[in-house]
Structure 1
Amino acid sequence: MNEALDSMLITDDSNLNGLNLIGLTSCPMKKIFRENLENTLQKYKQATDKILKCYTPTGCHSKEHIEELLKSSNFDDLPDVFTALGYRNTFKSSILDNFAYRGYFKSPQDKNINKDFDGLGLIDPEGIYSIYSVSSEVMLIDKNKLGKLPVPKTWADLLDPIYKGKIIIGGCDGDIHEDQLLYYYKDFGDEGVKALAENSKNTWHPAQMAKSAAVSSRDGAAIYIIPWFFANACPDKPNLKIVCPEDGAMISPSFILTKKSKLDEVSVLTDSLLGTEFGTKCADNLYPSLNPNVNNNIPEGFKFKWLGWDFIRSINMEETMNNIVDEFIDTFNRTGGDAVLEKK
């Protein structure tokens, strides 16, 4: 990477108050996100001789000081643009109650989005949040380990006791990827979360799932709930099958929150995130873009499943996530998975 471009991003994370942008994204999108942001900042400086202050962590996880910043009751502490993948960081009660529901944020996103998401209702009806792309969860099936059991066709199928000990879900360093549990909670309630826990063998990082499935390792599973990016990274082998369930791949959107008072000042950043060039790079990385001009190259029969704004706004996101994760862990530990999960 060109040093001039590297220098455009803030590297000192000791004080992140009042920046123009803080961007959180997933490991597979980290390089693309940073390069796009760096190029955007470089072009903006060349055109205006102005510098926008932007920060994105180099690692794959949100840092504690960002978590604390998002709890601030001082609106000026928050970045002008905040973007994150998934639901927990985006729908914090502190942001919603103090600012979002009081009109402090406004989405610059056009209502005309990519046809691949027709009918899902992804555009925020309250005009607060934007979405630039999505991560989608599918099933990766190891037919050797599945044996004579039927290939599951829907997410509900995974709750059938015939799949006990056959499933590995997403997790990392003792954490569970909560977004997948939210879908089970929405559709099947607490009992659905517990049933999934009873059938689960372990919680793994998606990279570990892909590596294990590629060699059909002994510690692996018959069924992995895994992001499409990682499932597609597996070699094309006769025993491996990617299944997009009939009710759709569960999506974790990449959300954007933009301060209403700063819309014009930071439009170069939001235009870039929502634009065709970056959207195409997202799509090429199997993170389909909402930009209507992007060809997401979605396979035939592949569709998406989304929680919906009504559901999201009907719950306390942090409280609900904490509760369902605890329910999953309690059930998992009691019914004998391959590991002992600890509550945070």
Structure 2
Amino acid sequence: MGRIPVPLKYTFKDGLEAILRNYRIEKGIRLKCYFPMGGGSGYSPFQHIHEVDNIDDFPNMVLSSSFDNVFEKNFFEKFIDKGYFQACQPKPLPPIYADCGIEDPEKRFTIFAVVPIVFLVDHWRLGGLPVPGRWSDILDPIYHDKIIVGGWRKDEKSPYSEFNTFLFLNIYKDHGIQGLKHLAYNTKNMLHYVHMSRIAGSDSELGAAIYIIPWFLADICPRRGKTSVIWPEDGALAFPFYILAKKAKLEELDVLIKYTTGRKIGQYLSDNCYPPLNPEVEYRYPENAKLKWLGWDYVRSNDTMELIRLASEVFFEAWQPLLFTKIET
């Protein structure tokens, strides 16, 4: 069972279907895969897979580009800490990933790619203010009403049902509740990432000076003469694409794992600014780029989903309380 961002879905699924077809012809074995297509489709099963009580009711392999409920403390205690899953991390690990510590030291999660979260700066709207260089910079009150973060809602009368909880968690980890309040003070608006990329550098009244946005969408902004992609000095936030594969099923999952972590799909991900952890691909990282990962000690010693709920509530309470949709467990 898998999901990845919409821009990657069709190429990823086409390759997956070819692999499965050839495997069925060569081995006479049909592997069942569920890979929903379209924006926002198929999310319900992912919202509830962590609720199973028996490991046999959990999919043999989950591939996800969401920092989701399998990171809840209860799921760790029930299944992950008991050794039901085994990482299949490609080696050797490229230095940018080794340096940020994103490989799971307990070898349960396979991290096969990341979404780097960066700054996209509109120089005209920034005016005479300094270009932010680090994550702590965006908390400075000189940037009041000059930041846009990722978020989506059905219409202007509805609260936000999706937003960048990973950003909130990172700010909370490094700067606490006060840091979230500073971010809220500086936030002008929440927009879908695609919309950010389209309006950055324009005279749209929805625009702002600083967009916190995935590298891929910052990179395709059409007004690059008026904007710059700023890679934070302390590292772009490394939002993980992960695999959870059952240890007892690794042999039959091998063809799927090799496809997902392999060079061909890895180069496609790298070319589209979703860099993989495969050491064989050519990377597009800027010179001296760093990644910033939460840290596995932090993930394992906290209920990160509970912290996400707390951080989101703090942010919206300081920003616009009526626009908040409470995060369900």
> Which TM-score bucket, shorter chain as reference?
over 0.9
Task: Provide the C-alpha distance between the structure 1 equivalents of 2:90 and 2:127, rounded to a whole number of angstroms.
Answer: 48
Inter-partner Cα distance in structure 2 for 1:51 and 1:288: 30
Q: Residue 319 of structure 2: SS of its match in structure 1?
A: helix
1:217 lines up with 2:204 in the alignment: yes
Q: Tell me how far apart the structure 1 counterparts of residues 44 and 12 of structure 2 sit (CA, whole Å).
A: 21
Aligned to 1:26: 5
Shift of 1:140: 0.4
Scaled by the length of structure 2, what TM-score is found? Answer: 0.92
In the TM superposition, what are the counterparts of 1:120-269 in structure 2 within 5 Å? 120-173=100-153, 174=160, 175-269=162-256
CA drift at 1:285 = 1.1
Matches within 5 A, 1:282-293: 282-293=269-280
SS at match of 1:189: helix
Deviations 1:78-111 (A, max 9, x none): 1111011132244134431211111111112244
- Residue 280 of structure 2 is aligned to residue 300 of structure 1: no
What corresponds to 1:18 in structure 2? none
Task: Give the partner amino acid of 1:184.
Answer: I
**Aligned-partner residue type, residue 104 of structure 2:** D
Cα separation, 1, equivalents of 2:111 and 2:203:
36
Q: Is the 8 A contact 2:73 2:302 kept in 1?
A: no
Q: Name the structure 1 match of 2:63.
A: 83
Q: Which residue of 2 aligns with 1:342?
A: 324
Pairing of 1:273-288 with structure 2 (within 5 A): 273-288=260-275
**Aligned residue in 2 for 1:309:** 296
Q: Which stretch shows the higher mean deviation, 206-215 or 137-146?
A: 206-215
1:319 maps onto 2:306 in alignment: yes
Instruction: String of CA shifts for 1:11-50, please: whole Å, max 9, x gaps.
Output: xxxxxxxxxxx10211222223212221221221121121
Cα deviations by residue, 1:140-168 (Å, 9 ceiling, x for unpaired): 00111111111111110000101010000
**Residue-by-residue CA offset, 1:44-89 (whole Å, 9 max, x unaligned):** 1121121100011113335223322331112122111101113224
Which residue, 30, 33, 42 being the options, matches 1:51? 30
**1:219 positional shift:** 1.3
Residues 120 and 39 of structure 1: CA distance in aligned 2, closer, same or farther (over 3 Å): same
User: What CA deviation, in whole Å up to 9, does each residue of 1:176-217 have, x standing for no partner?
Assistant: 111111111111111111111111011111001011115241
After superposition, the Cα gap between the structure-2 partners of 1:310 and 1:317, relative to the gap in structure 1 and judged at 3 Å, is: same
Structure 1 residues 270, 63: closer, same or farther in 2, change over 3 A?
Answer: same
Q: Is the 8 A contact 2:87 2:244 kept in 1?
A: yes
In structure 1, C-alpha distance between the alignment counterparts of 2:234 and 2:227, rounded to whole Å: 21
CA contact (8 A) 2:90 2:261 kept: no
Structure 2 match to 1:9: none
Q: Whole-Å Cα distance in 2 between the matches of residues 186 and 332 of structure 1? A: 19
The answer to which of 54-63 and 142-151 deviates more is: 54-63
Q: Alignment partner of 1:215: what SS?
A: coil
Cα distance in structure 1, aligned partners of 2:152 and 2:231: 23
SS of residue in 2 equivalent to 1:119: helix
Q: Which amino acid aligns with 2:325?
A: K
How has the CA–CA distance of structure 1 residues 296 and 188 changed in structure 2, closer, same or farther, with 3 Å as cutoff?
same
Give the secondary structure class of the aligned counterpart of 2:200: helix
TM-fit CA distance, 1:255: 0.7
What amino acid is the match of 2:221? C
Cα distance in 1 between the residues matched to 2:227 and 2:324: 31
- Deviation of 1:251 after TM superposition, in Å, equals 1.1
Identity %: 38
Structural RMSD (CA): 1.6
Q: Is the 8 A contact 2:97 2:103 kept in 1?
A: no
Helix, strand or coil at the partner of 1:210: helix
Q: What is the match of residue 15 of structure 2?
A: 36
Any idea what SS the aligned residue of 2:252 has? coil
Moved beyond 6 Å, runs of 4+? none
AA in 2 matched with 1:180: L
Q: Which runs of 5+ in 2 are unaligned?
A: 154-159
Alpha-carbon contact 2:86-2:108 (below 8 Å) kept: yes
**How far apart in 1 are the matches of 2:209 and 2:73?**
38
Contact 2:270 / 2:283 at 8 angstroms: preserved in 1?
Answer: yes
Aligned-pair distance for 1:342?
2.1
Distance (whole Å) between structure 1 residues aligned to residue 223 and residue 25 of structure 2: 45
Counterpart code for 1:251: A
Please give the TM-score of this superposition, normalised by the length of structure 1.
0.88
